[in-house]
Amino acid sequence: MSGLTQQRGAEHAAILGVGAYRASRVVPNADIVEAIDSSDEWIQQRSGIKERRFAEPHETITMMSVEASREALDAAGLTAKDIDCVIVATVSHLLQTPAAATAVAYELGTDRAAAFDISAACAGFSHGIAMAADLVRGGSSRHVLVIGVERLSDITDMRDRGSAFIFADGAGAAVVGPSDVPGIGPVVWGSDGEQFDLIRQREDWRDVVGSPEKPGSGVMPHLVMQGNPVFRWASFTMAKVAIEALDRAGITVDDLDVFVPHQANMRIIDAMARSMKLPPDVVIARDIAEQGNSSAASIPLALHRLIDEGQAKSGDTALLIAFGAGLAYAAQVVTVP
Ligand code: COA
């Protein structure tokens, strides 16, 4: 036997279009402070968040994903039939199986595209972009839809002082496909499982349901977070990862037009920008002020807004860096579509 036939894909991959869906309910700090004995001033000062978006019941994971994806497809000049793989990054699709991506692929009208979810929390979108670029270059797919989507309001304890003011809902999508020139740089990614417990679902579903020996709590296992160590890890370690992503792409901060970090906390964004010594003309995404932290959706939502407002232009060089529970992280340089 002379070996199996191998496939080869496109020489290069790029993001061809971006779309977004913002959950419709605007929730200002004033609406949540009483339950956590806080204030609008404290929340703005510590996190930069003025208001966040929460989903209404009809704004499901599937619905928000489909809306964001339609816009991304339009922007790419493609239709659902062109998509042969759908990757959904989420931690708030509360049906454990099947994957949200299968419903999204069907609702969109793809021709039975491969569809699966990935769980990398706030780092999920950048993981998806890295995988999509490799799928396109490796020949497994021609056009991949990468979606970051969350309904974190479903799993946030609105009485938890450490997290109630942070999380939010929404969806962002990007179409990744073949390109004549490199449009997605090498990914720098990793994890630090030693800090597994810093951001996590409070308890296992089995502890919620219980057993004959031990009654269950019957309470939604909300997301909990040790804010201070997460803050320190993100502010210091992630700037180094961001610089490494620039190095791997063969550029420096001076070549950068746009910086789109995960929208975790405005102070983390500022600390990273300082530590990376970003030149003052680099546009920095600050979507968190009005959107809150929407985990896997935060980077595509922030990038979409910059494109929409004309702050990021087609052909610009952008650095994406995503980090969160796990602790997992991923960063790459991309060309703005
Ligand atoms: N409202 C008012 N006061 C609060 C409060 C709240 N919601 N939460 C905590 N406090 C108080 C504390 O009791 C403490 O008071 P003390 O000094 O009198 O003891 C003080 O504020 C400082 O608490 P601390 O937990 O050290 O706050 P912090 O400066 O670390 O800020 C976060 C808290 C959550 C804003 C910050 O840690 C953070 O943003 N972490 C990263 C979170 C994040 O980005 N997560 C997503 C990653 S994907």
pLDDT tens per residue across span 76-121: 999 999 999 999 999 999 999 999 999 999 999 999 999 999 999 9
What is the bridge-based pairing of β-strands 328-335 and 188-191?
antiparallel
The CA 47 to ligand 1 mean position distance, Å, reads: 9
66 and 163 part of one domain: yes
Confidence at residue 2, expressed as pLDDT on a 0 to 100 scale? 74
Q: ∠ CA 82-336-230 to the nearest 5 degrees? A: 105
Confidence at residue 120, expressed as pLDDT on a 0 to 100 scale? 97
36 and 148 part of one domain: yes
320 domain residue, yes or no: yes
6 domain residue, yes or no: no
73 domain residue, yes or no: yes
Domain count, the chain: 2
Please report, for the domain that includes residue 261, its CATH number. Answer: 3.40.47.10
87 and 233 part of one domain: no
93 and 131 part of one domain: yes
User: Is the model's pLDDT at 268 over the cut of 90?
Assistant: yes
- Per-residue pLDDT tens digits for 281-333: 999 999 999 999 999 999 999 999 999 999 999 999 999 999 999 999 999 99
105 and 155 part of one domain: yes
Phi-psi region of 210 (alpha: psi -120 to 50; beta: other; left: phi over 0): left
User: Is the model's pLDDT at 151 over the cut of 70?
Assistant: yes
- For CA atoms 267, 269, 270, 275, the dihedral sign is positive
Which domain, by its residues, includes 291? 188-335
31 and 173 part of one domain: yes
171 and 60 part of one domain: yes
51 and 167 part of one domain: yes
142 and 196 part of one domain: no
Please name the residue whose Cα sits nearest to atom 44 of ligand 1. Answer: 264
List the catalytic residues. 122, 262, 293
150 and 194 part of one domain: no
164 and 223 part of one domain: no
Residue that terminates a domain, selected from 122, 149, 179: 179
3-state secondary structure of 261: strand
Q: Which residue among 46, 201, 226 has the greatest number of ligand 1 atoms within 8 angstroms of its CB, and so is best to mutate?
A: 46
User: Is the model's pLDDT at 40 over the cut of 80?
Assistant: yes
The CA 295 to ligand 1 mean position distance, Å, reads: 18
Residue that terminates a domain, selected from 142, 157, 179: 179
User: Is the model's pLDDT at 1 over the cut of 80?
Assistant: no
User: Is the model's pLDDT at 256 over the cut of 80?
Assistant: yes
133 and 21 part of one domain: yes
